[in-house]
Structure 1
Amino acid sequence: MDDRAEPGLAGELSGVDGSSATDVWAVGSREVVQAGGAINSGTLVERWTGGSWSVVPSPAPPNALGARLAGVKTFSATNAWAVGSYSASTQPGNRTLIQRWNGTAWTVVPSPNPDATTNLLTDIDGASANDIWAIGNMGFDGYGGTTTGLVLRWNGTAWSRVAVPGSESDATFSVPALHDVVAIAANDVWIVGRAFHRTLFTTMPIALHWNGSTWQRSFLTGAPNDGQGFRSVAALSPTRVYAFGSTIARWSGSAWVPEAGTLPGLLADATATGPSTIWAAGNRYDLNAASPRTLAMRTTNG
């Protein structure tokens, strides 16, 4: 993809993670001018080294028309991963995009694309450098949306697709969408999102949990539901897991329990920063403003 950054063009960051106070990565997308003057999207990667942020070159596949990154996971100063998607000049739709930092440069790592048209990655996390999960969605519903969740796993050598019950339509839920993942341990992984409940006839927050051998699906009831589902998940410990969206819920060990009612907006991402502290960020609605405002919330009583 032959492109160059131009002053005044738009950019946004979608994911952030760090291995220390002086090694933090943020990823997203930016507008770029391609050969011939066309404007398209390109990957955006920035790094904090303790004094300032700087843009770090980030490649896209050679046949990419447009690309963006959505999530990042940092294990050390010489090992970080970023995930997203790109559109290709040689194939229809979108393809998964996974990049790896080796301490010197970012490189594209081959990744599966199970669907013929749409494959998108939204987040990445791992309990160790040789056990990493990347999640997203695939399939085209004909209206600009996806039809099925997508789960990939890195075993230290290659990425492969994992069949996850609950990430595909079944007799209870249809059109699931996966948004966030947190890996507490190799046998303790949470994926959250939303899906349409066929009997209740509404879109509900869902969670998928890996215990090392099987997957269990759960969903939130008894809370205001606007169809947004769970957008993010964070864990203080195996027994203190929280999910966020337009509401906040805590996993009790057997069910999701609402921690807060309707929020003034949507919490799109969350992270645990201490033994009892979780931060969540997103946007809030403001009837007096023409566009949404930022929203950040914190608990120190986790």
Structure 2
Amino acid sequence: MRNPRLAAVALIGTALAAACGPGRTATPAPPPSPAVSQSPAPDRTASGDPAPGRTASGSPAPSGAATGAVAASTAWAATGGTGLPGSSALLDVAATGPRDAWAVGYKDSAEDREGAPAVLRWDGSRWREVPLPGDDVYHLEGVSAAGPDDVWVVGNGESAFAAHWDGRRWAPEKPFGVVEDYRLADVATTGGTAWFAGSGPSKAVVLEWDGREFGNALSTGGAFDAITAREGHVWAVGSSERHTPLIWHGTADGAWESSPAPEIPGGRLNRVWQISPSEVWAVGEVTAGPGDRAGQPLVLRWDGSSWSRVEVPVRLGALHGITASGPGDLWISGIDADHAGQVLFLRFDGAKWSREYGPLFRVHEEDQQYEETDDVNHTGIARVPGTTALWAVGSVGVGDDEDDFVLRH
């Protein structure tokens, strides 16, 4: 196994790389000219001192060795170290304000071990790991925060796991008991009530927490991977039994109905965001078929009466995260298969799309163990309420050679 490196690479041909042991973060080099080069990224973990700012699918097939780097946006800056050891990833992020954000994922996970859950909290100056009770959960998949004292995380181990933070301590829960064939993928909390998306044997499941106990809100065919709740509306998305996009809509009175999505073979939705009851967005991917180099990014939009597919300026790749402050400020994170070593960010201003890229984390080495070790593997994104700032998290590399990162916009 090679020693992982997160490197900043100037597109004019100068490569700056630093090699470190587990748990260390290299200091980024001074940023070069943004016109010709990309922002520096630290070694090991890229994540503490900002400017203002899943179950997730794997990275697209092509590796960084076969894809070209592009100029990185200087608006996206790597923050200091998270302190997580190697073989770590961050899968989701949520923020309640400039001085409170949460990121979840896993650490110490490799080919020969399941690993352990990772919870990080931003206090306005640095990321700190928050211990989580329980020794039978391996990976955390989702986080939702209604306030500094109302945070839910979900994950999986021997059985599905959830925990609530009340500002002082965690209250761990087993929503399905000790049954081993259920999993939780995402959570959405709206203050007092929380909704959980997951799956069981051949079915998609939504659970509701009413402040006292869990209840089964919905069971249907397929698998749910994401959920959002706002203004009395709940949206759950994933993949149907026919391997097409799956969308269900619920209301505060407990009524649920299928919300038919376009029939897109191989389509899977990874995240969903409601801007208003008449504007909802869902993102994911169309999985690659036999002989395809990579899958296709998938974006669906609800206009209050129907869902339609929206074309984006990326040909191949996958989309993992979505957030918005309003109809004219929608952000999506994911991977462009043609530039798989950098995080892809898509922005919709209400009229048109723009795209930008995070820093290049690694430089290809001839003797590296995996071709995919240069590629971004997971991404997640969250807005910071009351500001224009954004957090992005994820990982680069695979197996023993995977490292987490945090970016701020």
2:258 partner letter: V
2:307 partner letter: W
CA 1:55/1:29 → structure 2, altered by over 3 Å: closer, same or farther?
farther
Moved more, 229-238 or 258-267: 258-267
Measured in 1, the distance between the counterparts of 2:249 and 2:357 equals 33
Tell me if 1:192 matches 2:283. yes
Aligned to 2:306: 214
- CA drift of 1:196 comes to 5.7
Q: Of 161, 167, 174, which residue of structure 2 is paired with 1:58? A: 174
- CA drift of 1:266 comes to 3.8
CA 1:204/1:257 → structure 2, altered by over 3 Å: closer, same or farther?
farther
Q: Is the CA contact 2:282–2:301 (under 8 Å) kept in the aligned structure 1? A: yes
Tell me if 1:284 matches 2:399. no
1:101-112 paired onto structure 2 within 5 Å: 101-103=209-211, 105-112=212-219
CA 1:250/1:9 → structure 2, altered by over 3 Å: closer, same or farther?
same
Measured in 1, the distance between the counterparts of 2:405 and 2:274 equals 25
CA deviations 1:220-265 (Å, max 9, x no partner) are: 2356x3x3x1111111221010111121111143443212278541
Aligned to 1:138: 240
Measured in 2, the distance between the counterparts of 1:132 and 1:154 equals 5
Aligned to 1:21: 148
Q: Of 273, 278, 289, which residue of structure 1 is paired with 2:384? A: 273
- CA drift of 1:80 comes to 1.2
Aligned to 2:250: 154
CA 1:163/1:80 → structure 2, altered by over 3 Å: closer, same or farther?
closer
CA deviations 1:172-199 (Å, max 9, x no partner) are: xx3111000011111111100112699x
CA deviations 1:106-137 (Å, max 9, x no partner) are: 31324141x3xxx2111111222x31101111
Q: Is the CA contact 2:134–2:172 (under 8 Å) kept in the aligned structure 1? A: no
Measured in 2, the distance between the counterparts of 1:291 and 1:9 equals 24
CA 1:255/1:261 → structure 2, altered by over 3 Å: closer, same or farther?
farther
CA 1:250/1:186 → structure 2, altered by over 3 Å: closer, same or farther?
same
Measured in 2, the distance between the counterparts of 1:258 and 1:284 equals 20
CA 1:55/1:165 → structure 2, altered by over 3 Å: closer, same or farther?
same
Aligned to 1:37: none
Structure 1: 4+ residue segments shifted above 6 A: none
1:101 partner letter: W
Tell me if 1:296 matches 2:406. yes
Compute the TM-score of the two structures, normalised by the length of structure 1. Answer: 0.74
Aligned to 1:260: 357
Aligned to 1:43: 160
Measured in 2, the distance between the counterparts of 1:8 and 1:65 equals 15
Q: Is the CA contact 1:150–1:161 (under 8 Å) kept in the aligned structure 2? A: no
Measured in 1, the distance between the counterparts of 2:205 and 2:299 equals 24
CA 1:236/1:160 → structure 2, altered by over 3 Å: closer, same or farther?
same
- CA drift of 1:68 comes to 1.5
1:62-101 paired onto structure 2 within 5 Å: 64-76=179-191, 78-86=192-200, 93-101=201-209
1:195 partner letter: V
**Alignment partner of 1:219: what SS?**
coil
Q: Is the CA contact 1:284–1:293 (under 8 Å) kept in the aligned structure 2? A: yes
- CA drift of 1:18 comes to 1.5
**Alignment partner of 1:97: what SS?**
strand
Larger Rg: 2
- CA drift of 1:11 comes to 1.8
Aligned to 2:274: 183
- CA drift of 1:282 comes to 1.2
Tell me if 1:239 matches 2:328. yes
**Structure with greater proportional strand content:** 1
**Alignment partner of 2:256: what SS?**
strand
**Alignment partner of 2:401: what SS?**
coil
CA 1:21/1:196 → structure 2, altered by over 3 Å: closer, same or farther?
closer
- CA drift of 1:161 comes to 3.9
**Alignment partner of 1:111: what SS?**
strand
Aligned to 2:71: none
- CA drift of 1:45 comes to 1.0
CA 1:20/1:222 → structure 2, altered by over 3 Å: closer, same or farther?
closer
Measured in 1, the distance between the counterparts of 2:193 and 2:284 equals 27
CA 1:139/1:255 → structure 2, altered by over 3 Å: closer, same or farther?
farther
Structure 2: 5+ residue runs without aligned partners?
A: 1-132, 336-343, 362-375
Give me the identity figure in percent: 23
